[in-house]
């Protein structure tokens, strides 16, 4: 880690985030100080300007980018191609410490690792690394907290603290990549050692922090050394169903997968489970998701947390199948997620037979359906459990 002489703010506790009332939506993050600017906030042209503004040579952008995006290095002593005089200052200005990992928890014999990171202002966020036989998926946060207030999600219950910057999102991935390369995720001799998939399914609603999230996607997919060179096809943007955000995202024409957190096919129930449904209804969200598929050719995922006796009825599987088929064939698949328990919620996962029936009824409508293997529920690292408690 680069030395941060001027930055003693890491231990300042963040002011308490106000918990939302049931159904209350928060779109604008309460105003707070911004994290320091970082190389990863900018594309290559922006990096040159950023360095020039601070009185450095613009061509250092390429050198620093290779250190950060290729080697995951942040320590000045590892950057021997930079002149020794002023190196510390250059590195601390271009690559300030954004996230300090304050807790690291393992599950699945080390194949799942949840990291709790503390930001410059004391806000905490979480990321999760999941190693499988042929791929490594990382789940990252786009906001500290979340303003969407879904009653079954621990993050939603905590309220929105603030938006993360682009570099704060990228830094989660760089730290994960560094852990993986250092043999600290799963057994050291295991392949693969690179992150192949990124899902925006950690804390936050990324489309509510639109600009910074798009910046992060570019840093993830841009070829090295401008970015991390991860395939756009390996990235999934998950949304609660912010329809204008989905429409805007469609215009980006990136081959990123869109996941829509539907959780109910009817407005009556969805109004209760997903407060944003009071603004944009099931059919509007599905239309936007279908148009995303049309524009990008990427098959959309529908997320459906199965909650015992709440949304797991056979007729709801049929209604979902009908609504998806009404828009076309081959454009979508459904990802039922057994509900993960969260504090203060009385809801639990569906009974296994009920889950199986739900899946079979969707398949009978010709909808490809796979139950999500949720990792890390024993370390509160699974979907909906991220509350960043230290």
- Determine whether the annotation assigns residue 261 to a binding site: yes
Is 284 one of the annotated active-site residues of the chain?
Answer: no
| Residue of the chain from 144, 300, 383, 387 that contacts ligand SAH (CB under 6 A) | 383
Query: Which residue reads 């930079």 in tokens?
Result: 82
Under the binding rule (CB under 6 A), the answer on residue 205 touching ligand SAH is yes
Alpha carbon 101 to chain centroid, angstroms: 17
Return the structure tokens found at 60.
């250092």
Q: Which of the residues 237 through 266 are near ligand SAH (CB under 6 A)?
A: 238-240, 261
| Residue of the chain from 41, 111, 226, 303 that contacts ligand SAH (CB under 6 A) | 303
- Shortest CB 357 distance to ligand SAH, Å: 19
Q: Helix, strand, or coil here: 19?
A: coil
**Binding region for ligand SAH (CB under 6 A) out of 5-13, 178-186, 339-347, 356-364:** 339-347
51 or 123: CB nearest ligand SAH? 123
Distance CA 275, CA 107 (A): 32
- Least Cα distance to 211 among 97, 41, 31, 45 occurs for 41
- x-or-dash pattern for ligand SAH, window 185-204, by CB under 6 A? ----------------x---
- Least Cα distance to 313 among 366, 362, 275, 272 occurs for 362
List residues bridging with 200 in a β-sheet: 237
| Residue of the chain from 39, 51, 95, 337 that contacts ligand SAH (CB under 6 A) | 337
Is 383 one of the annotated active-site residues of the chain?
Answer: yes
Cβ-closest residue to ligand SAH? Answer: 384
**Binding region for ligand SAH (CB under 6 A) out of 58-66, 95-103, 122-130, 333-341:** 333-341
List residues bridging with 145 in a β-sheet: 160
Distance CA 80, CA 87 (A): 9
Under the binding rule (CB under 6 A), the answer on residue 312 touching ligand SAH is no
| Residue of the chain from 99, 212, 332, 339 that contacts ligand SAH (CB under 6 A) | 339
Distance CA 270, CA 147 (A): 17
- How buried is residue 77: exposed, middle or buried, by Cβ count under 10 Å (0-12/13-18/19+)? exposed
Q: Which of the residues 129 through 168 are near ligand SAH (CB under 6 A)?
A: 148, 150, 152-153
For the chain, give the longest Cα–Cα distance: 70
- Least Cα distance to 195 among 302, 47, 69 occurs for 69
Under the binding rule (CB under 6 A), the answer on residue 336 touching ligand SAH is no
In the chain the first and final C-alpha atoms are separated, in Å, by 21
| Residues labelled as active-site residues | 126, 383
- Annotated binding-site positions for S-adenosyl-L-methionine: 204-205, 238, 261-263, 340
- Annotated binding-site positions for [4Fe-4S] cluster: 146, 150, 153
Q: Give the residues lining the site for ligand SAH (CB under 6 A).
A: 148, 150, 152-153, 201, 205, 238-240, 261, 303, 305, 337, 339-340, 342, 383-384
């Amino acid at each position: 880690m680069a030395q941060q002489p001027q930055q003693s703010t890491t231990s300042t506790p963040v002011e308490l985030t106000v918990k939302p009332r049931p159904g209350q939506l928060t779109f604008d993050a309460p105003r707070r100080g911004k994290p320091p600017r970082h190389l990863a906030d900018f594309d290559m042209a922006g990096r040159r300007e950023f360095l020039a503004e601070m009185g450095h040579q613009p061509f250092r952008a390429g050198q620093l980018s290779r250190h950060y995006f290729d080697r995951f290095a942040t320590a000045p002593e590892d950057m021997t191609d930079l002149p020794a005089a002023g190196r510390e200052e250059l590195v601390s200005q271009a690559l300030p410490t954004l996230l300090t990992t304050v807790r690291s928890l393992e599950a699945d014999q080390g194949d799942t690792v949840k990291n709790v990171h503390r930001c410059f202002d004391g806000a905490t966020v979480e990321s999760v690394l999941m190693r499988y036989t042929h791929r490594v998926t990382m789940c990252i946060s786009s906001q500290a907290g979340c303003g969407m207030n879904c009653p079954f999600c621990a993050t939603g219950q905590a309220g929105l603290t603030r938006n993360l910057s682009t570099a704060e999102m990228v830094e989660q991935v760089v730290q994960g990549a560094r852990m993986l390369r250092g043999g600290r995720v799963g057994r050291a001799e295991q392949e693969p050692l690179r992150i192949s998939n990124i899902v925006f399914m950690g804390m936050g609603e990324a489309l509510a922090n639109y600009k910074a999230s798009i910046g992060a996607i570019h840093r993830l997919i841009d070829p090295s050394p401008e970015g991390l060179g991860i395939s756009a096809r390996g990235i999934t943007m998950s949304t609660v169903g912010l329809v204008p955000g989905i429409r805007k995202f469609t215009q980006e024409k990136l081959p990123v997968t869109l996941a829509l957190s539907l959780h109910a096919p009817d407005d009556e129930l969805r109004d209760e489970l997903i407060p944003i449904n009071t603004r944009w209804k099931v059919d509007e969200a599905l239309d936007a998701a279908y148009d995303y598929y049309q524009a990008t050719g990427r098959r959309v995922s529908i997320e459906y947390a199965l909650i015992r006796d709440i949304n797991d009825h056979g007729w709801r599987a049929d209604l979902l199948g009908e609504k998806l088929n009404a828009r076309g064939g081959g454009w979508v698949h459904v990802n039922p997620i057994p509900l993960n328990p969260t504090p203060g919620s009385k809801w639990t996962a569906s009974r296994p037979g009920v889950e199986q029936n739900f899946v079979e009824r969707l398949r009978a409508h010709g909808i490809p359906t796979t139950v999500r293997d949720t990792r890390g529920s024993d370390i509160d690292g699974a979907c909906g459990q991220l509350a960043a408690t230290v």
